[in-house]
Structure 1
Amino acid sequence: MSETIHTGGCQCGAVRFKAHGDEFASSICHCRMCQKQTGGYFGAFATFADNKVEWSRGEVSYFVSSNIAKRGFCKDCGTPLTYEWHGDGVSLAIGAFDDPDKVAPNKQLATKSRIQSFDTLHKLKVREDTYGVEQSCVKLQNFQHPDHDTTTWPKE
């Protein structure tokens, strides 16, 4: 049986990764550092052993966010990619995976810092109509890297 390979990368395609195997921990973290890194309600990460992660295109840039951790991102498009600490493991941003559902989180961390409105998101009104969306999409040119590996990027 072959080993599972989870692929992913940044929005512009300059940085791509492969995470090997199905032994990983997956969570969302509500700490302020994760909120600020992602600009969202939480950071969502799947953690693989160091020797299970390979960078298949480009190089990750880093911000040292504390005395024990650094956070990786793409210097070209700004996509948050990693949380790395002094230990064995690379936490890869779940949203950066080509198939995020395959590394879905199964626990929450640092819930004391959870943004209060997180608990009521499921109550938000859902906008069912798509008025104007079709017209906007006709003019849309998407420069985002596709959710799969490519031999070259951007397209020539």
Structure 2
Amino acid sequence: MEHQTTHVTGGCLCGRIRYEAEVFLYNGYICHCTICQRSTGQPAEITVLIKAGTLHYVGEEPRYYVSSGDGKRGFCAECGARIVWQALRAEDDWLTNVTVGSLDRPAEARVTRHIYADTQLPWYHVCEELPKLTGQDADVLIEMLRQEHRPDRA
């Protein structure tokens, strides 16, 4: 079930941005990296990966901010809601993800791990029973995600 895709819809707070996509709804993750903390103003961000090539916007598209050498973050220019992290390189589109909070039915999502747990704020405790990967595990994480979600995986 973790590796199956589910058709979802979602959007921003004000409704200007709407999207639909096939996502790995039952294999989400809690990201504790400092970039996610700063971009959301929260201790972590919870996201689900999108099946490459299935994200389609209905109406307006997000504005983007390039937040690292690997990706850009899409948000609504009107209400500021964060919607998507998108890979800068086309071949890495399989890493593109949407925020669980932007889903129309966020309660259906399931998280399976923490990432960048070495920068988890010491007072923030949620889903502590899940496996935790640190920033030093980044290569392991990318390979794990590649095996789970890349369209050309065996």
TM-score over 0.5 for the pair: yes
Unaligned runs of 5+ residues in structure 2 are 129-154
Q: How does 1:114-125 map to 2 (within 5 A)?
A: 114-119=120-125
Cα deviation, 1:124-154, whole Å, max 9, x if unaligned, reads xxxxxxxxxxxxxxxxxxxxxxxxxxxxxxx
Structure 1 runs (4+) greater than 6 angstroms displaced: none
2-structure distance, mates of 1:105, 1:70: 22
Pick closer, same or farther for the CA change 1:119–1:18 going to 2, 3 Å: same
What residue is the counterpart of 2:102 in the other structure?
Answer: 96
What residue is the counterpart of 1:50 in the other structure?
Answer: 52
Cα deviation, 1:25-48, whole Å, max 9, x if unaligned, reads 411100000111111010111111
What residue is the counterpart of 2:72 in the other structure?
Answer: 70
* Higher RCO (CA < 8 A, seq sep 6+): 1
**Which residue identity lines up with residue 99 of structure 2 in the other structure?**
A
**Which residue identity lines up with residue 54 of structure 2 in the other structure?**
K
**Shift of residue 4 of structure 1?**
4.2
Work out which of the two has the higher radius of gyration on C-alpha atoms and give 1 or 2: 1
**Equivalent residues of 2:25, 2:108 under 8 A apart:** no
What residue is the counterpart of 2:40 in the other structure?
Answer: 38
Pick closer, same or farther for the CA change 1:75–1:21 going to 2, 3 Å: closer
Task: Say which SS state the counterpart of residue 50 (structure 1) adopts.
Answer: coil
Task: Say which SS state the counterpart of residue 93 (structure 2) adopts.
Answer: coil
Identity %: 28
- Aligned-residue Cα RMSD (Å) equals 2.1
TM-score scaled by structure 2?
Answer: 0.70
